[in-house]
Structure 1
Amino acid sequence: MNPGHTKKVRVTTISAIVLLIAVLIISVGTGFASLTPAELFRTIFGQGTPKENLILFEFRLPRIFVAILAGMGLAVSGAILQSLTKNPLSDPGILGINAGAGLMVVVYIMFFTVESSSSLYILPLFALAGGGATAAIIYIMSYKKGEGVEPARLVLVGVGLAAALAGATLTLATRLDMENYAFMANWLAGRIWGDDWVFVVSLLPWIVVLLPLSLMKSNVLNMLNLNENVAIGTGVNAGRERIVLIIMAVALASASVAVSGGIAFVGLMAPHIARSLVGPRHQSFLPLAALIGAILLLAADTIGRVVLDPSGIPAGIIVTLIGAPYFMYLLARK
């Protein structure tokens, strides 16, 4: 990588970090109970009133951190899927992985309560099982002997399976009591429901472990994205690495949506934006995609809270309003 490109990557990444911090500050300060910049910084440094401490540390920051972590997880998951399938339209939501995770979330709350502390750690595992099973079905149905996985077939199978799973989810949801049905309706709409520190703690290990592992696999992704024969020639076990990377992508998406809600298009847009800014080299664009994913989801959640405060619009709906036209643009261009 030449020095000029290295500088561009560094400047772009630093700019994204600054933008994320700016969105975070705006998100903390806006809402039904707003905080001025002076009140915000005074509270951060331990000089706030009890009301300001409650707003910042109990209401705002946990939800903000869940949005940031989930945005990162969804963005990196989408980037991995796009590289493995060589399909620019791949996204955990579009391919039905989120829908599979959502179906298992409904199954979980039919038998258990989401209010218990243990559910916060078990729920992502249920979501992972649903997302993983969906990914396996999509891969099997899209695979054709002698041709491999064809990108257009993958999208069609994924969209069809997502619709079927969404129908199954709604059917099961009608058997829930009113309280659990309301929770599930908010989850399906993409409302970030994890608004306590325990949700941050339940999601954090998945992101802290899987994001660095994804970066460590950057060279493998570079090889697989170019040519599988070249990857095999350089000593890469393509079959094994592809399975490992798919598991990582499904785990990132499933854990993220289990806590944040059924949010699509973040995994589609963030990698595209990052790739257009710094190029296709995974060492450069994966960290940037994670930052852009966090910015997109946090900004969407902030806009949703402000537009119809205090009830708000789910972040998933705000992201969809942006992502659906972007998806159609990519579909028409390709």
Structure 2
Amino acid sequence: MKPDILPHAHGGRPATASDLLRKRFLKVLIALIMLTAILFLTGLSAGSTWLNPLEVMRHLAGAGSGEHAFVIDTLRMPRMLLAMLAGAALGAAGLIMQGVVRNPLGSPDVVGVTGGASVAAVFFITYLAGSVSLRWLPAAAIAGAAVASALVYALAWKKGVTPVRLVLVGIGIAACMGALTTMMIVMGDNYSTSSAYLWMTGSVYGATKSDVLSLLPWVALLIPLSVLFSRASGILELGDETATGLGVRVQLHRLVMLAISVSLAGAAVAFAGGIGFVGLIAPHMARKLVGRSFAYLVPVSALLGSLIVALADVVARTAFLPMDIPAGVLVSGIGAPFFIYLLYRNRHQ
């Protein structure tokens, strides 16, 4: 019997390994979508005032009394949607970054992309917030992420870019960005410092419908776009020489995928702040669930990232009432030990 052919349980055409993997992917995808829906309903119900989930469902269906419309539509729904969109963007961005650098430790916050967004955002909050409208803060954060990634790519270039150089240069740039951010916070006034700290921690507090509509196109366009490059991304994991031999334009593909990852991470950080480790955790969880097929990993990583950030926000704003803890605090509490574990596991590689 061939290793990739398995007997069908009920006769007929034998089931191949790819058939079984596809079925497993569909089961995981359906389960994650159901969990996301349950968490969304829980997030709309939970808070300082508990709402009956059935009443929330009636309201969403347009048959509610309207008594809790302000709480559901204005306070909780934008917050949940923004958390889910930001988490999806960070999860997919982390997966793409790990594929580009071929390193399980690669993620936007590790290689300096998030750091660049943080520098730009803290600079904006500290020095420009009084004279420039805050609606330009997301643009500043995205621009900072783009500049940081361009700097990493340029410094890592030497007749092409290798994954090892990209990671090493990225870690160095991340450290420099962290130092610049700290310096601006120390030199800023008390009001701007507290605002910058809250943004850096990562929070979807005060999310609006406008924020959701602004982030949605980035997620809706770039995540499906990354799936279109799934075949080349899978080949690239075999190594640059093998990929070149199979017809993949390695440097061009790496640049395009890096641009997609940076755009997703920059957009997420712009609207939800510096939530770290989501791009590190979600792809590893996805590989455990659906294997290493890039086309399957993208939606699963996005859904897992969405669940991580949304769950962290629901717990953070309900478990510590009357305080509203930033979601990034809980995510970092899980992500930092996970990062140390990955370092330990890969110490001999």
* Whole-angstrom distance in 2 between the partners of 1:234 and 1:156: 28
- The answer (yes or no) to whether the contact 1:91–1:264 under 8 Å persists in 2 is no
Q: Secondary structure at the match of 1:2?
A: helix
Q: Which of 269, 277, 287 in structure 2 is aligned with 1:257?
A: 269
Identity of aligned residues (%): 36
TM-score, normalised to structure 1's length? Answer: 0.91
Q: Does structure 1 residue 231 correspond to structure 2 residue 247? A: no
- Alpha-carbon RMSD: 2.2
Q: Secondary structure at the match of 1:28?
A: helix
Unaligned runs of 5+ in 1: none
String of CA shifts for 1:176-223, please: whole Å, max 9, x gaps: 454433321111111224511010011111111111111111111111
Aligned residue number for residue 147 of structure 2 = 133
Is the alpha carbon distance of 1:79 and 1:147 closer, same or farther for their aligned partners in structure 2, counting shifts above 3 Å? closer
- The answer (yes or no) to whether the contact 1:264–1:320 under 8 Å persists in 2 is yes
Aligned residue number for residue 77 of structure 1 = 93
* Whole-angstrom distance in 2 between the partners of 1:96 and 1:290: 21
* Whole-angstrom distance in 2 between the partners of 1:44 and 1:192: 21
Aligned residue number for residue 91 of structure 1 = 107
* Whole-angstrom distance in 2 between the partners of 1:55 and 1:38: 15
- AA aligned to 1:328 is I
- AA aligned to 1:97 is V
* Whole-angstrom distance in 2 between the partners of 1:96 and 1:50: 46
Is the alpha carbon distance of 1:113 and 1:254 closer, same or farther for their aligned partners in structure 2, counting shifts above 3 Å? farther
- The answer (yes or no) to whether the contact 1:194–1:259 under 8 Å persists in 2 is no
- The answer (yes or no) to whether the contact 2:160–2:251 under 8 Å persists in 1 is no
Deviation larger for 264-273 or 218-227: 218-227
* Whole-angstrom distance in 1 between the partners of 2:64 and 2:191: 35
Structural mapping, 1:267-306, within 5 Å: 267-306=279-318
Q: Does structure 1 residue 4 correspond to structure 2 residue 4? A: no
* Whole-angstrom distance in 1 between the partners of 2:65 and 2:216: 29
Q: Does structure 1 residue 56 correspond to structure 2 residue 68? A: no
* Whole-angstrom distance in 1 between the partners of 2:184 and 2:284: 35
- The answer (yes or no) to whether the contact 1:31–1:310 under 8 Å persists in 2 is no
Is the alpha carbon distance of 1:199 and 1:146 closer, same or farther for their aligned partners in structure 2, counting shifts above 3 Å? closer
Q: Which of 105, 115, 121 in structure 1 is aligned with 2:121?
A: 105
- AA aligned to 1:71 is G
